[in-house]
Amino acid sequence: MLGQIAMTTLALLVVTKLVASAACVGLGLPVGLIGPSLVMGAAFGGLLGGVGSILYPEAATSPGFYVMLGMTASQVFRQRSVFLSTLETLGLQYPPNPVSLHLQRAGVASLMHRDFVRLPEVMDPAQARLALQQPLTWVVIEAPDGAPRCVLYASDLNVFMDQHHKDTEDPVHLMEIPGMRKDVDAIDIRATLQQALDQLRATGVEALCVTRSAAPLITPIVGIVTREDIDRYTGVSG
């Protein structure tokens, strides 16, 4: 009778402790995991020891042995620490990567190109010549709705204008001229270079338009940063 009560108590202890610990971790409460793991392991080991003594009483050993066995059973599976798994889930690395740390300390504003101009996909040659009068690195090609579609090297547009539009006033189609165009996505100016690199990898684009929230629904582009810029930065810094 007492043995049955003890086994029932151990089973309830394992279940309730497991549910309580999982709920606390899921709610983000600052609770420890080592103590609950040892308690659940000890209770489960004692429970299995009790079952074994009932089934094979002649081969049963001290209950304390099963308790200690349950407390150390996690080492058999050689799983990673729950803290390391949590850091990995959050996108963090331990020990931290020196390159990642360096990128986290720098913002996109420190690396972005500010010498750019926004131009529509189709425009008059006069508008293109006027834009190229200022020193530029990038041309942001805008879709008909005004959203940035991609970026083009200003030097490619300059070469095209010199070779094909010296004596003609035909419209210039920026999506059709020869040149290196890069797909873009938007990123806030407060982002770090590590966040920019993560976004480049996640979206598969090659460049980011750095925006600043000036007012609700108004996010002007203030700079351009590319994957090559970040790679060059880490190469020089590393």
- pLDDT, averaged across the chain: 83
Residue 97 resides in a domain = no
In the prediction, which pLDDT does 57 show? 72
- Do 169 and 142 share a structural domain? yes
**What's the pLDDT tens digit per position in 145-155?**
888 999 999 99
Is residue 238's pLDDT more than 60?
Answer: no
Residue 23 resides in a domain = yes
Residue 17 resides in a domain = yes
Residue 140 resides in a domain = yes
Tell me the mean pLDDT in the region 13-42: 80
Instruction: Find the domain containing 137 and state its range.
Output: 102-237
Is residue 237's pLDDT more than 70?
Answer: no
Residue 84 resides in a domain = yes
Of residues 50 and 188, the one with the higher pLDDT is 188
- Do 38 and 123 share a structural domain? no
In the prediction, which pLDDT does 224 show? 96
- Do 85 and 111 share a structural domain? no
Residue after which a domain boundary falls, among 24, 58, 91: 91
Instruction: Specify the pairing of strand 116-120 against strand 138-142.
Output: parallel
- Do 20 and 52 share a structural domain? yes
**What's the pLDDT tens digit per position in 162-215?**
887 676 778 889 998 998 899 999 999 999 999 999 999 999 999 999 998 766
In the chain, pLDDT over 90 holds for what percent of residues? Answer: 34
Count of domains observed in the chain: 2
Cα dihedral sign, 121-222-111-230: negative
Residues in the chain: 238
Tell me the mean pLDDT in the region 118-147: 90
pLDDT category at 7 given cuts 50, 70, 90 is: confident
- Do 216 and 109 share a structural domain? yes
In the prediction, which pLDDT does 193 show? 93
- Do 108 and 68 share a structural domain? no
* Exposed/middle/buried for residue 178 (C-beta within 10 Å: 0-12, 13-18, 19+): exposed
